[in-house]
């Protein structure tokens, strides 16, 4: 993760709280280590809260949040089995 501040006026959706954030404001880019193309913009406070709680969402959780209800039973089972981190 790294700090990010764009100059272009665009909005992103925070994967933690689901609210939009303005690119002009200070925020954070987060990405799974294995896939930089899946990087997301998140509120600084939301990331700090998640990290303080010892968790950051997995990529599956991000995707699920984007699509709405989780479509896959497998994803639900993995989450229920304590999937903090998905090791393939
Ligand atoms: Zn947020």
The pTM is what?
0.44
Q: 18-22, 62-66, 69-73 — which one is most confidently predicted on average?
A: 18-22
What percentage of the chain has pLDDT greater than the value 70?
A: 52
Number of domains in the chain: 1
Residue 25 included in any domain: yes
Residue 75 included in any domain: yes
Helix (H, G, I), strand (E, B) or coil at 30: strand
Residue 86 included in any domain: no
55-64 pLDDT, tens digit per residue, is 776 666 666 6
- As a whole number of angstroms, the longest Cα–Cα distance in the chain is 41
pLDDT at 6 over 80: no
Residue 64 included in any domain: yes
Average pLDDT of span 12-20 = 88
Q: Which residue has the higher pLDDT, 73 or 44?
A: 44
Cα-to-centroid distance, 13 and ligand 1 (Å): 8
Q: Say if residues 28 and 3 touch (Cβ distance below 8 Å).
A: yes
Residues with CB under 5 A from ligand 1 (ion): 14, 16-17, 43, 46
Residue 10 included in any domain: yes
Q: Which of 74, 75, 54, 49 is closest to 14 using CA atoms?
A: 49
Cα-to-centroid distance, 57 and ligand 1 (Å): 12
Cα-to-centroid distance, 67 and ligand 1 (Å): 17
Integer Cα distance of 87 and 53 in angstroms? 21
């Amino acid at each position: 993760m790294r700090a990010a501040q764009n100059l272009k006026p665009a909005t992103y959706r925070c994967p933690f709280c689901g609210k939009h954030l303005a690119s002009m404001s200070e925020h954070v880019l987060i990405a799974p280590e294995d896939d930089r193309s899946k990087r997301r913009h998140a509120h600084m406070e939301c990331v700090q809260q998640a990290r303080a709680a010892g968790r950051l969402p997995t990529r599956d959780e991000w995707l699920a949040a984007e699509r709405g209800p989780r479509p896959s039973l497998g994803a639900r089972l993995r989450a229920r089995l304590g999937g903090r981190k998905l090791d393939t």
